Amino acid sequence: MNPTISLMKNHRSVRRFTDQAISEEELRTIIDAGRAASSWKNFQSYSIILIRSQAKKEAIYQLVPQEAILQADTFLLFVGDLNRAQKGVALHTEDFYPAGPENLLISSVDASLAAQNTLLAAESLGYGGVIIGLVRYAAKEIGQLVNLPAYTYPIFGMALGKPAQENAVKPRLPYDSIVFSEEYQEQEAEIIEDYDQVQAAYAGQRAPSSWSERLAQQFGEPANQASQNYLKDQKLL
């Protein structure tokens, strides 16, 4: 185990922060490390909206009531961005076809890789953070708040700051439940039931519902339509 792997394996989401600021130099270093992540054909099909003013953080909190947004020194909004692609395409042809799942995957994966790099870089400097995907549930309002143009959409936010408290590392599914040799191995519900017990032992009273109950809450009812509607408005679906 080397320091990099140790840092990665000790990741935990941080939702409570002190008042300590991230310096401008450190923040630039963190984001530049994030931007060094792999990217499909080096298109870098994402943008990052850097939000440090308390007024803007409060405006986002009104749309996405997560306390970490208010407490964080910095809130980063990761945006799927094919607006630059449109301008590049226009240099060569009038045809532009941004809509559809493949291009959404390109921009979403690019942003996700950059975000994971960003968070790891922040953790390496003693900071912490949490990914906030609920910004998608207020996609239209968030888009208006940060003036997103056509062919862009909010994917998730990241609250960053100096941890005020840190929980134990959250247990993951067993290795053999995630990693398969040569081909996919479908498993029985027993794997889920066993992991419910692991999560219950970890979370105690902090989690009123089991892991599988949270799966049911997410995937057992129709998906929230905010992202889909906004993607249509932005000419991406």
For the chain, give every domain's residue range. 3-169+223-233
Give me Rg for the CA atoms of the chain. Answer: 19
Give the C-alpha separation, 65 to 68, whole Å. Answer: 9
What pLDDT, on a 0 to 100 scale, did the predictor assign at position 204?
A: 78
Give the C-alpha separation, 231 to 225, whole Å. Answer: 10
Give the C-alpha separation, 91 to 220, whole Å. Answer: 45
Type and span of the H or E element at 61: helix 54-63
CB atoms closer than 10 angstroms to residue 236: 21
What pLDDT, on a 0 to 100 scale, did the predictor assign at position 121?
A: 98
- In this structure, are residues 174 and 196 in contact, taking their beta carbons and an 8 Å threshold? no
With bands split at pLDDT 50, 70 and 90, how would you rate the model's confidence at 207? Answer: confident
- DSSP secondary structure code for residue 136 in this structure: G
CATH superfamily to which 3-169+223-233 belongs: NADH Oxidase (3.40.109.10)
Q: What is this structure's pTM?
A: 0.95
Nearest-5° Cα angle at 43, 41 to 48:
140
- Percent of the chain whose pLDDT exceeds 70: 100
The mean pLDDT value for 25-48 works out to 98
What pLDDT, on a 0 to 100 scale, did the predictor assign at position 167?
A: 83
- In this structure, are residues 151 and 81 in contact, taking their beta carbons and an 8 Å threshold? yes
What pLDDT, on a 0 to 100 scale, did the predictor assign at position 1?
A: 86
Amino acid occupying residue 190: E
Type and span of the H or E element at 49: strand 46-51
- DSSP secondary structure code for residue 42 in this structure: G
What pLDDT, on a 0 to 100 scale, did the predictor assign at position 225?
A: 95
CB atoms closer than 10 angstroms to residue 156: 18
Give the C-alpha separation, 134 to 137, whole Å. Answer: 5
